[in-house]
Amino acid sequence: MVLTTSGLLQLMRDVSFNGFELSAGSCSFHGEVRNLNYRLNNMRFISPKTDFAFKKIFGSTNSKDILISFLNAIIYRGQPTIEDLEIINPYSASRVTGLKDTYLDVKAKITDNQTVIIEMQVLNVEAFEKRVLYNAAKTYSTQLKSGEGYFKLKPVIALTITDFEMFKNRDRVISHFVFKENEDLFDYPNHELELYFIELPKFTKELNKLESLADKWIYFLKNTNQLETVPDTMGTVPEIQKAFTIANEANLSLEELDDLEKRVMFLEDQRGAVIKGIQEGIKEGQLKLVLRLLERRVGEISPDIQSRIRRLSIVQLENLGEAVLDFTSASDLTAWLQGQENRSRSNS
């Protein structure tokens, strides 16, 4: 019998529930049990940077106090402006099962019936900044029923956490956007649409340097899955302590662990696709440049030679670009390519 880690977790729960003790020495898989005991004593936390985990921690039906603390820290600089809220689309394990290419957000009604959309974004995908605007505008415009007046519209706040730098050459971790006049920078009469961004890579404070409640929440978002215990400085905040409890892998069902693993794998596949796309774009740009240099140096390049050049790696293209100046004829290029191909075969 082969037991996975999640299976061992369930077994330990079942045994504990029935009032028995599971002895590592009496089991054939005692090594796994010792490892599991270590995990239970030295907790493992899911990463809030996956939208699945973020929604479970901040968007569950029992997460209202967590979300209030987080929003007050980020939007209202730690002031208890939000005293109560309603999570519009609470987390449900059955709803997220099987999701792959969609994203999960958290929506809540806060003070004065404003709507807040909170989203965790791991990858900097194409047109992401437009999607943020679209979601905020759509949420704002769909408030009215047919025949209702515009005065019934309530403000919408879009809070987006990114695991990448969205605004280059800016050091600020939290950015806040509202409508302003372009020249004199005075505010539009109503702050109906506001955008907040938290850029996690820009947050570099160490644990012993955390000062504000916002610092602690951002540290939680960025580093939770690297911790084995709840830091004392963060455990003093009841809502953060509760967030750690929800994030503890030992408190997830087997189905949730499985869904989380699939979600992480999907995101890693997407990350790989983005990186590959960037690399291919770089290679295509280098290829065009090298072909232009070659044509100027040795004349027209035959389709066969072009095909062989296209099979070169990025590094080989860079080397070819440097070697071009030494070529005096097409035969020099052919000899260079033959040398590269011979080396590739000998290394394989």
Tokens of 26: 């009496």
The proportion of the chain whose per-residue pLDDT surpasses 90, expressed as a percent, equals 47
**Unique residue bearing structure tokens 């999907």:** 266
For residue 344, what pLDDT is reported?
Answer: 80
Please indicate whether residue 245 or residue 311 has the higher confidence score (pLDDT). 245
pLDDT in tens, 269-288: 666 666 666 666 777 888 88
The proportion of the chain whose per-residue pLDDT surpasses 70, expressed as a percent, equals 80
Domain extent listing, the chain: 5-41, 51-252, 275-347
Of 194, 208, 202, 211, nearest to 174 (Cα)?
A: 202
Tokens of 275: 């990186």
Please indicate whether residue 67 or residue 268 has the higher confidence score (pLDDT). 67
How many helices (H) does the chain have, and how many strands (E)?
13, 6
Choose from 6-15, 34-43, 210-219 the range with maximum mean pLDDT. 210-219
For residue 41, what pLDDT is reported?
Answer: 52
Please indicate whether residue 206 or residue 320 has the higher confidence score (pLDDT). 206
Please indicate whether residue 320 or residue 208 has the higher confidence score (pLDDT). 208
Rounded to a whole number of angstroms, the distance between the first and last alpha carbons of the chain is 40
User: Is it the case that residue 100 has pLDDT exceeding 70?
Assistant: no
What angle do the packed helices 30-41 and 5-17 form, to 10 degrees? 80
User: Is it the case that residue 297 has pLDDT exceeding 60?
Assistant: yes
Candidate from 6-15, 56-65, 66-75 with smallest mean pLDDT:
6-15
Helix (H) or strand (E) holding 285: helix 254-298
Alpha-carbon torsion, ordered 289, 294, 300, 301, to 10 deg:
-80
Please indicate whether residue 64 or residue 39 has the higher confidence score (pLDDT). 64
User: Is it the case that residue 118 has pLDDT exceeding 50?
Assistant: yes
Tokens of 15: 């045994």
User: Is it the case that residue 12 has pLDDT exceeding 50?
Assistant: no
**pLDDT grade, residue 262 (50/70/90)?**
confident
- CA gap 347, 193 in Å, rounded: 58
- CA gap 348, 345 in Å, rounded: 5
For residue 122, what pLDDT is reported?
Answer: 84
For residue 269, what pLDDT is reported?
Answer: 65
For residue 214, what pLDDT is reported?
Answer: 98
For residue 42, what pLDDT is reported?
Answer: 61
User: Is it the case that residue 312 has pLDDT exceeding 70?
Assistant: yes
**pLDDT grade, residue 319 (50/70/90)?**
confident
Tokens of 187: 């505010």
For residue 211, what pLDDT is reported?
Answer: 95
Buried b / exposed e along 33-65 (16+ C-beta atoms within 10 A):
beebeebeeebebbbbbbbbbbbbbbbbeebbe
